[in-house]
């Protein structure tokens, strides 16, 4: 693949297997993928092709009995490159949330039913952006100091001192003791006000009407679209470099889905995060994405610019997938055959038993993923994948 300098995340030859009682599920068979800064990359493919497990691998969160048995996932952070699969759990916890966030299909599963939106979003902000919140609290105290009389000055100076202490060490003993003393603990309510302001700002960014009221709501009071917006706010609260969205609109009705897609585009402009958008809906891909990676049975088989994929699809599976989109006045063509089991998957090219162009080599040799045009990658023997 092209120079890594162009990417914020690169996956090379990722191999993942699940060791189940039924047998070994060869879930990812050498996946190659890269994500550019501030782009929306669509990851498409039929059910079970490995979209979700690819995204879980990026966070090194594959559940047992899954095992990553080959390949590399590299994240770029400034001048540094981080090999995700070689990091310790403590460091990975910092990456998750700070550099990479994820949103899922069912937003309510990720919201705690007993806390309000403000409490949950506030918690994320405290975990990831406490420094910024304390600095704006200190600024507010400085402004109050300008107008304060002598007695109030003493108290405000104490509040400022405690904020500065908290900035150095949020769990310092003096801060914890001060939090329990009336008046002295006023620094905490000042910080809380800053958190509330930030929460409302974030909800406004999510185009939520009446954000002050929504901030006080519990998850069960939110509509599906609203709950998904809150979860997106939580994912973006720490300004991640990469946002992974795994079919986030599947359970929403079409009008709400369109609003969320619009929101994701707006947020990409504002937050400049890259987005890996997982879907099986090619309509969503056409509307939202800059580039597309097409997956089939544990492999990325084609990767290109969205216009290129729709105008000039090369891999027979991509072509079949595009032909299977129902269009008015056009005969509906489904892909012949069924998705193969990933326990003892087909040899060579995993698409060979459904491919109308299959050649002798196809069931023997796995095609390589190669660049066949500018930034257009394909894994197919028709395009020299055997070389
Ligand atoms: N915990 C698990 N144990 C065993 N096999 C698993 C496990 N999780 C995923 N797999 C297998 O890995 C393969 C890829 O699954 P994955 O969930 O990534 O598919 P997907 O492309 O996200 O599908 P969908 O569109 O239905 O969400 C599938 O064959 C699946 O059965
Ligand atoms: S490698 Fe062969 S079987 Fe696979 S998609 Fe290309 S032509 Fe079809
Ligand atoms: Mg999935």
User: Ligand 2 centroid to 331 CA: how many Å?
Assistant: 24
Give the pLDDT score at 236: 87
CA 216 vs. chain centroid, Å, equals: 26
pLDDT in tens, 54-96: 999 999 999 999 999 999 999 998 888 999 999 999 999 888 8
Q: In 10 A of CB 132, how many CB atoms?
A: 13
User: Ligand 2 centroid to 221 CA: how many Å?
Assistant: 51
| Mean pLDDT lowest among 33-37, 172-176, 239-243, 312-316 | 172-176
Phi-psi map region of 337: left, alpha, beta (phi>0 left; psi -120 to 50 alpha): left
User: Ligand 3 centroid to 48 CA: how many Å?
Assistant: 7
pTM here? 0.90
Of 14, 27, 57, best ligand 1 pocket probe by most atoms within 8 Å of the beta carbon: 27
pLDDT of residue 5 exceeding 70, the answer is: no
pLDDT category at 385 given cuts 50, 70, 90 is low
53 lines ligand 1 (CB under 6 A): yes
Of 14, 29, 48, best ligand 1 pocket probe by most atoms within 8 Å of the beta carbon: 48
pLDDT of residue 169 exceeding 60, the answer is: yes
pLDDT of residue 333 exceeding 80, the answer is: no
Q: Are strands 100-103 and 242-246 parallel, antiparallel or unpaired?
A: parallel
pLDDT of residue 360 exceeding 50, the answer is: yes
pLDDT in tens, 256-302: 888 889 888 888 888 889 999 999 888 899 989 999 999 999 999 99
User: Ligand 2 centroid to 326 CA: how many Å?
Assistant: 24
User: Ligand 1 centroid to 42 CA: how many Å?
Assistant: 18
Give the pLDDT score at 268: 87
Average pLDDT, the chain: 90
Highest mean pLDDT among 144-148, 180-184, 348-352: 348-352
Q: Are strands 40-44 and 66-77 parallel, antiparallel or unpaired?
A: unpaired
297 lines ligand 1 (CB under 6 A): no
pLDDT of residue 1 exceeding 60, the answer is: no
pLDDT of residue 2 exceeding 60, the answer is: no
pLDDT in tens, 201-256: 999 988 898 999 999 999 999 998 899 899 999 988 888 899 999 998 887 788 88
Question: Residues whose CB is under 5 A from ligand 3 (ion)?
Answer: 52
Give the pLDDT score at 56: 94
CA atoms of 162 and 43, how far apart (whole Å):
48
- Name the token pair of 69: 């048995």
- Atom 27 of ligand 1, nearest CA residue: 47
If you search the block for the tokens 């892909």, which residue do you land on? Answer: 335
7 lines ligand 1 (CB under 6 A): no
- Name the token pair of 351: 């698409």
Give the pLDDT score at 387: 55
Q: In 10 A of CB 307, how many CB atoms?
A: 12
Name 137's Cβ contacts closer than 8 Å, sequence gap at least 6: 163, 187, 190, 191, 193, 194
- Name the token pair of 126: 């405290």
* Percent of the chain topping pLDDT 70: 98
**Maximal C-alpha separation, the chain:** 90
- Atom 1 of ligand 2, nearest CA residue: 380
User: 32: closest CA among 22, 23, 21, 43?
Assistant: 43
Ligand nearest to the CA of 28: 1
CA atoms of 102 and 244, how far apart (whole Å):
5
pLDDT in tens, 291-330: 999 999 999 999 999 999 999 999 999 999 998 877 777 7
């Amino acid at each position: 693949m092209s120079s890594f300098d162009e990417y914020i995340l690169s996956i090379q030859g990722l191999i993942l297997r699940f060791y189940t009682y039924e047998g070994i599920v060869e879930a990812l068979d050498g996946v190659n993928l890269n994500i550019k800064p501030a782009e929306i990359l669509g990851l498409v493919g039929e059910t079970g092709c490995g979209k979700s497990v690819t995204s879980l691998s990026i966070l090194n969160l594959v559940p047992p009995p899954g095992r990553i048995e080959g390949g590399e996932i590299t994240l770029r952070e400034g001048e540094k490159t981080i090999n995700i699969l070689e990091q310790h759990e403590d460091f990975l916890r910092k990456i998750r949330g700070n550099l990479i966030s994820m949103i899922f299909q069912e937003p309510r599963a990720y919201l705690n039913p007993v806390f309000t939106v403000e409490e949950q979003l506030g918690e994320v902000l405290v975990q990831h952006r406490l420094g910024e919140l304390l600095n704006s609290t200190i600024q507010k105290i400085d402004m109050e100091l300008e107008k304060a009389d002598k007695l109030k000055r003493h108290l405000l100076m104490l509040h400022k001192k405690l904020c500065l202490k908290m900035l150095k060490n949020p769990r310092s003993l003096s801060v914890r003791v001060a939090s329990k003393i009336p008046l002295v603990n006023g620094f905490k309510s000042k910080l809380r006000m800053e958190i509330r302001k930030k929460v409302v700002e974030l909800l406004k960014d999510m185009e939520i009407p009446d954000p002050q009221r929504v901030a006080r709501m519990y998850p069960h009071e939110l509509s599906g679209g609203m709950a998904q917006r809150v979860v997106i706010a939580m994912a973006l609260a720490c300004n991640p470099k990469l946002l992974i969205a795994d079919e986030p609109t599947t359970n929403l009705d079409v009008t709400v889905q369109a609003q969320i897609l619009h929101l994701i585009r707006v947020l990409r402009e504002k937050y400049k995060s890259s987005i890996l958008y997982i879907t099986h809906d090619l309509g969503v891909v056409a509307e939202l994405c800059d580039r597309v990676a097409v997956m089939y049975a544990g492999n990325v088989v084609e990767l290109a610019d969205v216009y290129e994929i729709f105008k000039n699809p090369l891999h027979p599976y991509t072509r079949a997938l595009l032909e299977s989109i129902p269009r008015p006045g056009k005969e509906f063509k489904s892909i012949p055959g069924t998705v193969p089991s990933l326990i003892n998957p087909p040899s060579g090219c995993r698409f060979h038993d459904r491919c109308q162009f299959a050649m002798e080599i196809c069931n023997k040799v796995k095609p390589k993923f190669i660049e066949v045009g500018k930034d257009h990658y394909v894994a197919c023997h028709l395009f020299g994948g055997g070389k």
